[in-house]
Amino acid sequence: AQTVTQSQPEMSVQEAETVTLSCTYDTSESDYYLFWYKQPPSRQMILVIRQEAYKQQNATENRFSVNFQKAAKSFSLKISDSQLGDAAMYFCAYRSARNTPLVFGKGTRLSVIA
Amino acid sequence: DAGITQSPRHKVTETGTPVTLRCHQTENHRYMYWYRQDPGHGLRLIHYSYGVKDTDKGEVSDGYSVSRSKTEDFLLTLESATSSQTSVYFCAISEHSSDTQYFGPGTRLTVL
């Protein structure tokens, strides 16, 4: 079974600085999708960024980018120019094929210090 | 945002009581999912549906049942609630042509 590991239960970053959240996963599949979701105190799950495994180029969305290392099964999230609104729980998630359920990591709680 | 609503948003109930949570979507998406979120566990899959009357179990399905009689509604039932089912429950939807799941606002359930 696929597993997703987030080794950092908590992280903190100064406002305007850069922070990287780690995620590793285990799979025997060659084609899959990876996601980062943000959960602010409102509890809403918000998609931050997604990566298709067959694409070598790392995905970017404004201040958010990923470092996807397929051979190492690593999928880290970099947040640049951190803002107070970035404070949230961040979940890494994996799915092996279209519309199969997601497998989540346990999450990393990010604090942003003003 | 995807049109997904969950009801109720909060519920407190007693052990042994039946509870039904509803997920309603206006997107006409084929796939629907129920997850539960607990501290230290992330989100875990309870059940999912790949069409009307087509459902399958997830990682933590014991004590839960689901039904999907029409595309827009996916019901999660706790036949006899236990304290271990105190959790936040999320519904999610996705379409066949998309790799992304979109989540509802969640339901916080407390079983006393």
Q: How many CA atoms lie within 13 A of A6 on its CB side?
A: 29
pLDDT digits (tens, 9 = 90+) for B1-17: 569 999 999 999 999 99
Q: How far is A109 from chain B (nearest CA, A)?
A: 11
CA distance A45 to B99: 16
Residue A83 has pLDDT above 80, yes or no: yes
Which amino acid belongs to residue A52? E
Domain ranges, residue A85: 3-98
Residues of A in contact with B58 (CB under 8 A): 101
For B4-111, which CATH class? mainly beta
Determine the Cα–Cα distance for residues A33 and A30; give it in Å rounded to an integer: 10
Residue A110 inside a domain? The answer is: no
Position A78 scores a pLDDT of 98
Q: Is residue A39 part of a domain?
A: yes
Q: Do A47 and B100 touch (CB under 8 A)?
A: yes
Sketch the domain layout of chain B as residue ranges.
Answer: 4-111
The mean pLDDT value for B92-97 works out to 85
Percentage of chain A lying above the pLDDT 90 cut: 88
Share of chain B above pLDDT 70, in %: 98
A87, A12 contact by CB (below 8 A): no
Question: In angstroms, rounded to a whole number, what is the distance separating the alpha carbons of residues A111 and B39?
Answer: 17
Number of domains in chain A: 1
Q: Is B85 helix (H, G, I), strand (E, B) or coil?
A: helix
The reply to whether A50 falls in a domain is: yes
Contact B40/A at CB under 8 A: yes
**pLDDT value for B96:** 73
Instruction: Tell me if A102 and B48 make a contact (CB, 8 A cut-off).
Output: no
Q: What is the pLDDT of residue B1?
A: 55
**What integer pLDDT is reported at residue B15 of this predicted model?**
97
Q: Does B11 touch chain A (CB under 8 A)?
A: no
Torsion angles phi and psi, residue B84, rounded to 5: -70, -10
